[in-house]
Amino acid sequence: LRIAVIKESVAGENRVAATPETVRKLIALGAQLVVEEGAGAAASVSDAAYVEAGAAIAPQGQAVQDADVVLSVRGPEPAALANARPGAWVVALLEPYGQRDRIEGYATAGVEALAMEFMPRITRAQSMDVLSSQSNLAGYKAVLAAADAYGRAFPMMMTAAGTITAARVFVMGVGVAGLQAIATARRLGAQVSATDVRSATKEQIQSLGAKPVFVESVTGIEGEGTGGYATEMSEDYQKAQAELVSAHIAKQDIVITTALIPGRAAPRLIADAQIATMRAGSVIFDLAAPQGGNVEGSVPDQVVERHGVKIIGYANTPAHLAADASALYARNLYNFLSAFWDKEAGKPVLDDEIGNAVRLTQGGKVVHPQLLAQAG
């Protein structure tokens, strides 16, 4: 079985889908590994390190030749897969909802496109969950970036010259990224509060030593929500949430927003009028900036200043921690391929539960029920 690791083509995508560690492990399963020249450079992995792990290096554009499996972080252009074996797997973050044309292209190219974002949230797939591994690092980086842009310190400091008070950090959206943001802000010594629409997060916020700030007048999502995911909230809830934010935000120095709804634009949580109530020099980091933004006025990869408040958000936050993000992403992919490895066949064979969840195209057609429903 021939596995190709390609060099990412999206600007600013510094991650790579395999590391020398996972190359070694995949070879141990019986696979042959071909890595495109320079694929790991932006994640501090040299071609020589891949060779030492047992991979062959292919010149630009040629790694995919006769590949059975193509590993990538972002979805490659279908044209780049022309020389792969018929029915080859493409394993990557394929943006199933946003890149419909490209997914049709995978069907036409005759490859089986496996979208890692659709990995079901079941216990046995936890080690394959790329959204979690990348969100965790993103939550950490968001706090560091906000702290860096903030002209004051995070911890309380008692000095001979007087006392500096602790920064107040408010985290909105307490999924994987939000929990890590809370933990990181606490480690830096900030006073942290947090909110979510899912009631199960209240206890998680408290267990990290932060204060939950919740809408109480309208019921949110009881418990975890389906698969841990939120849905769009009712108008009543949105109104109550806006009032809560207005009352709370004026007293915050740093706000980290992480709220997402699968398959939809990110919910708008902070309006310009609310930003105007914040103290000058405050910082908002909008992790949802690439999904349309939780914060009015946020622009991916730009520092926008409104009412003396800096609004930041990266187009690709995990790519700012490329080495660690790649290490975890690569392990997620290894865990996925190895869990289904069929020794006799010498290749991975998916079961229905996970196969049907992640497979977008097969036999020249788009096959995923959610995409078919969307088209119809």
314 is catalytic: no
End-to-end Cα, the chain, rounded Å: 37
Active-site position among 44, 46, 60, 126: 126
Shortest separation between residue 164's beta carbon and ligand NAD, angstroms = 30
Count residues near ligand NAD (CB under 6 A).
28
1 to 193, 276, 297: CA distances (angstroms): 50, 58, 48
Measure the CA angle with vertex 183, ends 182 and 189; round to 5°. Answer: 90
C-alpha R_g of the chain: 22
Q: Which of 70, 73, 103, 259 binds ligand NAD (CB under 6 A)?
A: 259
Q: Which of 65, 83, 189, 229 binds ligand NAD (CB under 6 A)?
A: 229
Residue whose token pair is 């690709």: 316
In 3-state terms, what secondary structure has residue 128?
A: helix
C-alpha 178/C-alpha 12 separation (Å) is 23
Shortest separation between residue 229's beta carbon and ligand NAD, angstroms = 5
Shortest separation between residue 62's beta carbon and ligand NAD, angstroms = 36
Using CB under 6 A as the binding rule, whether residue 196 contacts ligand NAD is answered as yes
Using CB under 6 A as the binding rule, whether residue 121 contacts ligand NAD is answered as yes
Using CB under 6 A as the binding rule, whether residue 197 contacts ligand NAD is answered as yes
Of the pair 49, 242, the CB lying nearest ligand NAD is at: 242
126 is catalytic: yes
In 3-state terms, what secondary structure has residue 80?
A: helix
C-alpha 334/C-alpha 276 separation (Å) is 47
**Which range binds ligand NAD by CB under 6 A, 41-49, 75-83, 121-129, 348-356?**
121-129
Q: Which of 233, 330, 350, 360 binds ligand NAD (CB under 6 A)?
A: 233
Q: Which of 38, 189, 228, 290 binds ligand NAD (CB under 6 A)?
A: 228
Using CB under 6 A as the binding rule, whether residue 193 contacts ligand NAD is answered as no
Pairing of strands 89-93, 69-74: parallel
Of the pair 193, 258, the CB lying nearest ligand NAD is at: 258
Nearest to residue 259, comparing CAs of 278, 240, 284? 284
Question: What is the full DSSP assignment across 193-249?
Answer: EEE-SBTTHHHHHHHTT-EE----SS--B-TT-GGG---PPPHHHHHHHHHHHHHHH
237 is catalytic: no
62 is catalytic: no
132 is catalytic: yes
C-alpha 243/C-alpha 237 separation (Å) is 10
Of the pair 164, 242, the CB lying nearest ligand NAD is at: 242
257 to 29, 312, 327: CA distances (angstroms): 41, 10, 25
Residues 41-100 that bind ligand NAD (CB under 6 A): none
Of the pair 316, 362, the CB lying nearest ligand NAD is at: 316
Residue whose token pair is 């510094």: 14
Active-site position among 15, 50, 72, 132: 132
Residue whose token pair is 């007087």: 162
Shortest separation between residue 122's beta carbon and ligand NAD, angstroms = 6
Question: What residues make contact with ligand NAD under the rule CB under 6 A?
Answer: 121, 126, 129, 131-132, 135, 172-178, 195-198, 224, 228-230, 233, 258-261, 267, 269
Known catalytic residues are: 121, 126, 129, 132, 229
